[in-house]
Each structure stands twice: as C-alpha cells, then as structure tokens.
Structure 1
Amino acid sequence: MNEQNNLNLEIAIFAGGCFWCTEAVFQRLNGVEEVVSGYTGGTIKNPAYREICTGRTGHAEGVKITFNPEKISYPELLEVFFATHDPTTLNRQGNDVGTQYRSEIFYTTPEQKQLAEEFIQVLEKENVFSSPIVTAVSEAKPFYLAEEEHHNYYNENRQQPYCQFIIDPKIKKLNNHFSKKLKHGTL
C-alpha cells in the first residue's frame, strides 16, 4: 500500500480554458498529489479531442486535481484558480474561443459548492475584476481523461510557442504570488 492510499485525499475539478495551462499551474502546488487533463460537463461518453474542438459535445477542457486538504485547502485552490485565468470572459481564454474553454467549477461535494459560491460572492463584492465573473458552479459530471499527448504537456513541451507565450506568464504569476504554496524545486 502506498502512502497516497493512507491519506484523506480530495478531488477538485476545474475548467479554466486550455487544460495545458491549468494542469501546469496546479501541478506546482504543494499538497496537490496528481493533476490529470480531461473533458467534463458534456453530453456524450468518451469524447475525443477532435470532437471537443467542435464545441458540439458540451464538454469543457478541465483538470481533475487530487489534493491533500491537510497541506492545501479547497479555498486555496480556488484562490489560485481565479488568479491564473480570466473568469470574466464567457467561453474563452485569450485566443482560445469556444464552450470547451469556459470557466467552470465542478464541485464534488456540497461543501465545495458552498465554498465556490461564497468565494465568487467575495470576489464580486470586493470588485476584484473589472467585469462580472461568469464562472459557472456545477455538480461534477463524468470526467474523461484526455489523450496521452495532452498529459504533462507544458513540462514536456516548454519550447513550443504556445507554452512560451501563454503558459509561461501564468507560471511566472504563480511563482510571484503563490511562492509559499509551491512544491520545492518546481518552476
């Protein structure tokens, strides 16, 4: 039995645009045990990337995060989520446009639903963003793993222009604002 089986781990599921970006951000957080890219929130079983790209399946590119709540709390994950993508643009993140790039939180427990809704209310009340937050909060639906080439994409393809121009700034922001929450030795 490995150590992970002895922990009281929890699952968080976020969609915040391209899953390459979201995966890269959450992989670096202390207390996050695993991050996998996939598709969720749609209407067909076992969708493929080519189907997701059409926007007709209703799925979002998302990440399933396995985390240790004794090391990082769900509200801390929410804080990083909202700080590293634009929750005010409907069905887009930068040049990535379509329902598959929407901002959505898929809660796995009633407590996560409450925490997410309260977090959004605080952000809105404090006018953290100049436009209204459009992030949906929905009950978790089946999560389908993305194809292998999408897993660990940033770490294995940092030389790609998308990684350099889109993901690198998110990682820099993460390092600048959340350095105390990062795993040692991650960039």
Structure 2
Amino acid sequence: MLAGGCYWCLDAAYRALRGVVEVHSCFTGGETPHPTYEQVCTGTTGHAEAVAVTFDESLLPAEVVLDAFFTMHDPTQLNRQGADIGTQYRSAMFPADERQRGLFEAARDRAARNWPGEVVTTIEELGTVYPAPEEHQDFFAKNPTQGYCLAVAVPKVNKVRASFAQYLR
C-alpha cells in the first residue's frame, strides 16, 4: 500500500508496468471510519489517497515496484504533491508485514541517495483500508483527456516509462 499524491497518477503509472496484476485506489492511515472521497479531500480524516499494487514478482521484482514509486512522485514534498496540498497527499508507505517493512525501508534509503533534499516519506501502520469509489478506479484509462490527467498524470507515467523501459507492458 503506497501513497504519493493523487492516487490517479500512481494507478496510471503502475498499470504501465509488465507484471502488475491489479491496482486498487483506496484510503488508509486515518481515523474516520468509512470515509467518503469528499471527506478525505478535506484533509481532516487522516487518510491518505493510496494504491494497493498486486504484481507478479517473477516478472516485476518488488524492488522495482518500490523504486518506481519513488520515481513517480516527489518524496521530498511534505504533505503535498505539486498543487495537491494536504495530508491526504502525503508520501507514505503502509506495510502489511515485517518483510514489506524491510523492503520499504530499503527502498526509502535508496531514494534518499537519489533525491536532493530530505526524503520525507513515512512508513506507517497499515490499519483499515477503504476502497475509493468505483469511478476513481483506473481513472486515467477511463478519462484520458481529463485536464488533471493530461497535466499531472501523463508526465508521471512518462517518467516511469523512461526510467523502467525494460519493465513496460
């Protein structure tokens, strides 16, 4: 479970990678039970917009999934990604177990060597995960000409495509 700004962008970038089986947009890391999208957007629920990425590790190593995460968003921006501002857009990782926690810590350490400035990505307890509304699932594919997708998601997808060309679909 990974959070790095708007989940539409993470979803679109991950779907470009061979070996990704599913991507689910969701909310996690907050206190409000069963939050709505509108509630999360206020920044008062504590939840982050996040994606759950399911992948075939024989085609796509976990380290690549995590390195792509640190490529598709700016982990040095605290509680924001570009014009998306608030704790719901924070850079955070939510491990399901200790193995994932170790992989997440190693990936954050690798990212810290590649980014100027301090990487502020947090590693938080997973907690309860709530699915985002259906219209937010695979949003980019359903809305490729939407303004936000063109202005924000496309550059992130292109950055992942350029950096991980050997893993593209």
Give the TM-score normalised by the residue count of structure 1.
0.87
Aligned length: 169
Percent identity between the two aligned chains: 41
Given the alignment, which residue of 92, 95, 102 partners 1:114? 102
Superposed, 1:20-39 pairs within 5 Å as 20-39=8-27
CA, structure 1 residues 152+122, in 2 after alignment: closer, same or farther (shift >3 Å)? Answer: closer
In 1, the alpha carbon distance for the partners of 2:110 and 2:136 equals 34
- Could you say which structure has the greater relative contact order, defined with CA pairs below 8 angstroms and 6 or more residues apart? 2
Q: How does 1:83-102 map to 2 (within 5 A)?
A: 83-102=71-90
Q: Hey, what's the Cα distance between the residues in 2 that align with 1:51 and 1:64? A: 20
1:45 equivalent among 10, 33, 46 = 33
Secondary structure of 2:94 counterpart: strand
Q: Distance in 2 between matches of 1:81 and 1:61?
A: 14
List aligned pairs for 1:149-168, cutoff 5 A: 149-168=135-154
Distance in 1, Cα, partners of 2:96 & 2:61: 14
CA offsets 1:96-117 (integer angstroms, 9 cap, x no match): 0000000001111211111211
Cα distance in 2 for partners of 1:71, 1:148 equals 28
Secondary structure at the aligned position of 1:35 is classed as: strand
Report deviation, 1:123: 3.0
Give the unaligned 5+ runs of structure 1. 1-12
Match for residue 160 of structure 2? 174
8 Å contact from structure 1 (residues 42, 59) kept in 2: yes
What is the one-letter code of the residue matched to 1:35? V
CA deviation after TM superposition for structure 1 residue 78, in Å: 0.7
* CA distances 1:28-69 after superposition (whole Å, capped 9, x unpaired): 211111001110111122110110011111000000111122
Unaligned runs of 5+ in 2: none
Aligned counterpart, 1:142: 128
Deviations along 1:138-170, one digit per CA (max 9) or x if unpaired, are: 232211111111111111111111111101111
Contact 1:17 1:101 in 2 (8 A): yes
The residue that corresponds to 2:44 in the other structure is: 56
Q: Residue 73 of structure 1: CA displacement? A: 1.9
Residue matched to 1:8: none
Give the TM-score taking structure 2 as reference length.
0.96
What secondary structure is seen at the aligned counterpart in 2 of 1:45? Answer: coil
Choose 98-107 or 149-158, whichever is displaced more: 149-158
Q: CA deviation at 1:122?
A: 3.1
Q: Of the two, which has the highest radius of gyration?
A: 1
